[in-house]
A and B are shown apart, each in its own frame.
Chain A
Amino acid sequence: MIEVNALTKRFGDRVAVSNLSFSVRPGEILGFLGPNGAGKSTTLRVIAGFTPASSGTASLGGHDVSSSPLAARRLLGYLPEGAPAWPEMTPLAFLECIARLRAMPAERANARLKTVIERLGLGPVLHQRIDTLSKGFKRRVGLAQAVLHDPPVLILDEPTDGLDPNQKHEVRSLIKEMALDKTILISTHLLEDVQVLCTRALIIHQGQQVADATPQSLAARSRFHQAVTIQLHPDVEADELALIMKLIHAVPGVREIDIQAPAQTAGHQITVFPQLGHDLYGAIRELASQADWPTQDVRLELGRLDEVFREITRAAGDAA
């Protein structure tokens, strides 16, 4: 369990994190989001007990990170920003060293080493110096280090950064599996991570919390939420298009229509935005099939997280 209470961190006159409060429960994966320089890594550093807070508190499993640091750190698996490791070591020597530094009993350490090495696919590079590894392997060595002692609390700073799509998938499923009984806090700038991985997303901007919600409810704030997008065939004539537009305008509850010019092999794309409380999908679908429109696809939009993210962080920026 992670508890953060009125956390503030100042560097000189600059306020990096301002009055941040939240908690993460076991089973949750909280995605920590924000533009670069928003204070994500600083916050994680404070919670991990590396940087002392200027005011406010952070605790892991009930242990305050500044007044009982060792008890808190024992519960914690931490992947720092950039996945640092001792460069002249091999991954095997590094992980064995971490196991000893964490005072893991030899038998358990061996079993965990085997599991972690296998899960993170470190087999091929076990005896290669860490400073000669690719970015993806370095990141996985860092992750292996963080999960080695099977900690109840995990704080991961950009765990999927630098990984290829397959590795991303693998790491995400590993994190999801661990989330069953662990408390997990990840920072990321990949909205994809949030969508497929996180049960909750917390957005900070200029050190202030600007949103705390599930990815679904965040997406629902998008102007695309409940909109209907119609993808037309590329060979639609101009008069046919005009007729379709006229018919859509006539549907009750339509607030606004966006039309995008054909791109590459796709035809025009029409997005229809509903007035509040109106459901357009059924009506437009029926219209399209009755009139036999040359459509490739008619779909209901759930909302676009990237657009919401931009809206939220820009609005907060203007207010500041």
Chain B
Amino acid sequence: MSGFQALYRRELRAYFSSALAPLFLVIFLVLTAAFGFWFGGFFERNQADLSPFFIFHPWLYLILVPAVSMRLWAEERHTGSIELLLTLPIHTHTAVIAKFLAAWTFIALTLALTFPCWLTVNYLGHPDNGAVLAAYLGSLVLAGSYLAIGSALSANTQSQVIAFISTVIVCLLLLLAGQPIVLDVCRAWLPSLLVDAISALSLLSHFQAIQKGVLDLRDLLYFALTIGVWLWATTVLINHQQAD
């Protein structure tokens, strides 16, 4: 366990000792505020809730989370430090989980720094704080899913640019899977069972359910499974890549 802790701490510290942390924090906070208050029509709605703020998260994360996840393994492979890490007495899956959790913690901290938005709605009215909390949770697990996908795709390359772009594409596909634009195309030539399956894979519909304040176990299970499967894929990819 101490190996896990040591790696987790190292990774978390690495975010803050590079220019990434301040840059990411500022961009994330500016964009969430800008999208929520201006484009989301926060004031025009005359409703004391944070929907306009959360509704853009899937799209913001689409660019911001891959920027965090791209370095997870691609950088280790590029500098060769992966050889050091994986000859220390820790398992590959331990390293995968420690690195993932450190990145997730970093994003959770960023998300926590949006608390002034929450204070603002509480000052302006009486929001359903339970729903707000559920939406924060939804946002966090969505970011975790993107990160897990990014982790696997980062393990697949030495290039952080490739890791970034491939993560954006895969996340976008999974986001849109449940949208009419995708489903209508699929319906034309796929059996309805498969169409339903594709629709159930959609990150967006599961996020929207939670974001509305409905905490369904199935949605949470979906995100837990997504994270688990992609982290497992990361471990497999890393072990496989050392072989050739």
Say which one of A79-87, A118-126, A195-203, A290-298 lies at the interface with B.
A79-87
Say which one of A94-102, A161-169, A226-234 lies at the interface with B.
A94-102
- A235–B90 Cα gap in the complex (Å)? 69
Q: Is A32 in the interface zone, CB < 8 Å from B?
A: no
- A202–B78 Cα gap in the complex (Å)? 30
B244-A12 in contact (CB<8A):
yes
Q: Which residues of chain B have C-beta atoms less than 8 A from A70's C-beta?
A: 89-91
Which residue in chain A gives the minimum CB-CB distance to B15?
Answer: A88
Q: Which residues of chain A have C-beta atoms less than 8 A from B89's C-beta?
A: 70, 73-74, 101-103
Q: Which residues of chain B have C-beta atoms less than 8 A from A50's C-beta?
A: 83, 86-87, 242
Contact of A80 among B2, B7, B18, B84 (CB under 8 A): B84
Which residue in chain A gives the minimum CB-CB distance to B11?
Answer: A86
A51-B243 in contact (CB<8A):
yes
A48-B87 in contact (CB<8A):
yes
Beta-carbon contacts under 8 Å, B56-91 to A: 79-81, 83-84, 86-91
Contact of A100 among B6, B83, B87, B242 (CB under 8 A): B6
- A8–B75 Cα gap in the complex (Å)? 29
B6-A101 in contact (CB<8A):
yes
Q: If the complex has contacts A81-B80, A86-B81, are A103 and B2 also in contact, measured as CB distance less than 8 A?
A: yes
B14-A84 in contact (CB<8A):
no
Q: Is B5 in the interface zone, CB < 8 Å from A?
A: yes
Q: Is B17 in the interface zone, CB < 8 Å from A?
A: yes
B244-A84 in contact (CB<8A):
no
Chain B CB count within 10 A is highest, among A70, A74, A87, A101, for: A101
Contact of A103 among B3, B10, B83 (CB under 8 A): B3
Q: Which residues of chain B have C-beta atoms less than 8 A from A85's C-beta?
A: 81, 84
In this complex, how many residues of chain B approach chain A with their Cβ under 8 Å: the count is 25
Q: Is A52 in the interface zone, CB < 8 Å from B?
A: yes
A101-B88 in contact (CB<8A):
yes
A49-B87 in contact (CB<8A):
yes
Q: Which residues of chain A have C-beta atoms less than 8 A from B83's C-beta?
A: 45, 48, 50, 80-81, 84
- A11–B90 Cα gap in the complex (Å)? 26
Q: If the complex has contacts A50-B242, A88-B18, are A101 and B90 also in contact, measured as CB distance less than 8 A?
A: yes
B3-A80 in contact (CB<8A):
no
A84-B81 in contact (CB<8A):
yes
Q: Which residues of chain B have C-beta atoms less than 8 A from A87's C-beta?
A: 79, 81
Beta-carbon contacts under 8 Å, A216-274 to B: none
Identify whether the interface residues of B are mostly helix, strand, loop, or mixed: helix
B10-A86 in contact (CB<8A):
yes
Q: If the complex has contacts A88-B18, A101-B7, are A51 and B242 also in contact, measured as CB distance less than 8 A?
A: yes
Closest Cβ–Cβ distance, residue B241 to chain A (whole Å) = 10
Q: Which residues of chain B have C-beta atoms less than 8 A from A98's C-beta?
A: 88
B88-A73 in contact (CB<8A):
yes
Beta-carbon contacts under 8 Å, B99-145 to A: none
Q: Which residues of chain B have C-beta atoms less than 8 A from A57's C-beta?
A: none
Q: Which residues of chain B have C-beta atoms less than 8 A from A100's C-beta?
A: 2-3, 5-6, 9
B6-A80 in contact (CB<8A):
no
- A82–B78 Cα gap in the complex (Å)? 12
A102-B10 in contact (CB<8A):
no
Q: Which residues of chain A have C-beta atoms less than 8 A from B7's C-beta?
A: 101
B10-A97 in contact (CB<8A):
yes
Q: Which residues of chain A have C-beta atoms less than 8 A from B17's C-beta?
A: 88-89
Q: Which residues of chain A have C-beta atoms less than 8 A from B18's C-beta?
A: 88
Beta-carbon contacts under 8 Å, B118-177 to A: none
Closest Cβ–Cβ distance, residue B103 to chain A (whole Å) = 15
Q: Mark B1-32, 1 if CB is under 8 A from A, else 0.
A: 01101110110011001100000000000000
Closest Cβ–Cβ distance, residue B83 to chain A (whole Å) = 4
Beta-carbon contacts under 8 Å, A24-81 to B: 45, 48-52, 70, 73-74, 76, 78, 80-81
- A97–B7 Cα gap in the complex (Å)? 8
Closest Cβ–Cβ distance, residue A135 to chain B (whole Å) = 14
A84-B80 in contact (CB<8A):
yes
Q: Is A145 in the interface zone, CB < 8 Å from B?
A: yes
Which residue in chain A gives the minimum CB-CB distance to B81?
Answer: A84
Q: Which residues of chain B have C-beta atoms less than 8 A from A103's C-beta?
A: 2-3, 89
A78-B87 in contact (CB<8A):
yes
- A45–B90 Cα gap in the complex (Å)? 16
B14-A86 in contact (CB<8A):
yes
Which residue in chain A gives the minimum CB-CB distance to B2?
Answer: A103
A84-B6 in contact (CB<8A):
no
Closest Cβ–Cβ distance, residue B233 to chain A (whole Å) = 19
Chain A residues proximal to chain B, CB less than 8 Å:
11-12, 45, 48-52, 70, 73-74, 76, 78, 80-82, 84-89, 93, 97-98, 100-103, 145
Q: Which are the 8 A-B pairs with shortest beta-carbon distances?
A: A100-B6, A84-B80, A80-B83, A73-B89, A84-B81, A101-B6, A103-B2, A74-B89
Q: Can you show 11 pairs from A to B with CB atoms below 8 A apart?
A: A45-B83, A50-B86, A80-B87, A86-B81, A87-B79, A88-B18, A93-B13, A97-B6, A97-B10, A103-B3, A103-B89
Contacts A51-B243, A78-B84, A102-B3 aside, 12 further interface pairs with beta carbons under 8 A come to A11-B244, A49-B87, A50-B87, A74-B89, A85-B81, A86-B81, A88-B14, A89-B17, A97-B9, A100-B5, A100-B6, A103-B2
